[in-house]
Structure 1
Amino acid sequence: MGSINPSFLHIGSTVGALLMALMVIFIRLKASDRPVTIRKILIPPLGMSTGFFMFVVPEVRVSLWWALAAFLAGWFIFAYPLIKTTTFHEKEGLIYAQRSKSFILVLLGLLLVRTLLHEFIDRYISIPQSGGLFFILAFGMIVHWRVFMLRRYSSLVPQ
């Protein structure tokens, strides 16, 4: 069984990240036309959590400290732009996410930062490990953003 050239893995992961970012942009633009519900807030991080199964593979595993640092970077740094650009409005008794013009720029900026960090980190750890770290970073970012959304949504829904 032959090995895969690392540069192909890097190109593949970058293209994959770009496609995922475009998919998120498309889904978010469509979602702003539908009312927000608790279920719609909670499903993305729950669905994403299945990605932790990648750590069953030994080549993907990283130290607990690195994983914690990635999660905290996602939680405290990368979630901030998403939180700042997420607002809700009420229409006919339903809560909708306000479409933000800066949301697309925020996501593309996060993708650029991810790509630049990827270049730096790949010098020190393997491509599967960096993929795992960026997954943990993204998970921290999404969880914080969705916790914010849930709190904001709960404050707007009549009791």
Structure 2
Amino acid sequence: MGSINPSVLHWGTTIGTLFMALMVILIRVKASERPVTVRKILIPPMGMATGFFMFVVPQVRFPLWWALAAFAAGWLIFAYPLIATTKFHRRDGEIFATRSKSFAFILLGLLLIRTLLHEFIDLYVSVPQSGGLFFILAFGMILHWRWFMWRRYKAILAEPGAPEPA
């Protein structure tokens, strides 16, 4: 079986990531029209966790401390723009996410940072390894953001006059 040129693979993943970012923006816009539930908060990181199966493939593996550093960067740095722009409000007895005008710019900015970091990291690790590292970074970011959302949602439910959980 032939091998794939790394630059083609890199551009393919960048275009794929851009497409996924645009899909996330569209999904978030539509999601703000529907009430938030615990299920809607928790399912994305649970679904994303299935991506850890990529580490079954030996070419994707790297030292544990790299994984911890990537997760910490996602949790401690990259989650904060999403946390800062995530707000909830009550309407008709239900809880909704408030649309943020800056969400799309933040997501595209994170994509730009990822692409720039990718160029640097590719000098030191293989394409499959960098994919694994960025997956762990993204997982740390999403997990922290969704954990914040869950805590905030629970706090709003605890307020007087809040709806019962769905």
Taking structure 1 as the reference length, the TM-score comes to 0.99
Following the alignment from structure 2 to structure 1, what is the Cα–Cα distance between the partners of residues 149 and 4? 41
Following the alignment from structure 1 to structure 2, what is the Cα–Cα distance between the partners of residues 101 and 77? 21
**Pair 1:97 & 2:97 matched:** yes
Q: How far did 1:2 drift?
A: 1.0
**Pair 1:135 & 2:155 matched:** no
Query: Which residue of 2 is the match for residue 71 of structure 1?
Result: 71
Q: How far did 1:62 drift?
A: 1.1
Following the alignment from structure 2 to structure 1, what is the Cα–Cα distance between the partners of residues 62 and 156? 40
Following the alignment from structure 2 to structure 1, what is the Cα–Cα distance between the partners of residues 132 and 82? 22
Give secondary structure in 1 for the equivalent of 2:88: strand
Q: Aligned letter for 1:93?
A: G
Following the alignment from structure 1 to structure 2, what is the Cα–Cα distance between the partners of residues 17 and 62? 22
Question: For 1:19-55, what per-residue CA distance to the aligned partner results, in whole angstroms no more than 9, with x for missing partners?
Answer: 1100100100000000000000000000000000000
**Pair 1:88 & 2:88 matched:** yes
Following the alignment from structure 2 to structure 1, what is the Cα–Cα distance between the partners of residues 13 and 118? 10
Q: Aligned letter for 1:53?
A: F
| Structure 2 segments unaligned to the other structure (5+ residues) | none
Q: How far did 1:18 drift?
A: 0.3
Query: Which residue of 2 is the match for residue 18 of structure 1?
Result: 18
Following the alignment from structure 2 to structure 1, what is the Cα–Cα distance between the partners of residues 19 and 56? 25
**Pair 1:121 & 2:118 matched:** no
Following the alignment from structure 2 to structure 1, what is the Cα–Cα distance between the partners of residues 19 and 64? 29
Following the alignment from structure 1 to structure 2, what is the Cα–Cα distance between the partners of residues 61 and 34? 39
Following the alignment from structure 1 to structure 2, what is the Cα–Cα distance between the partners of residues 61 and 17? 21
Query: Which residue of 1 is the match for residue 37 of structure 2?
Result: 37
Q: In angstroms, what is the RMSD of aligned CA positions?
A: 0.7
Aligned length: 159
Consecutive aligned runs of 4 or more in structure 1 exceeding 6 Å deviation: none
Following the alignment from structure 2 to structure 1, what is the Cα–Cα distance between the partners of residues 26 and 10? 24
| Structure 1 segments unaligned to the other structure (5+ residues) | none
Taking structure 2 as the reference length, the TM-score comes to 0.95
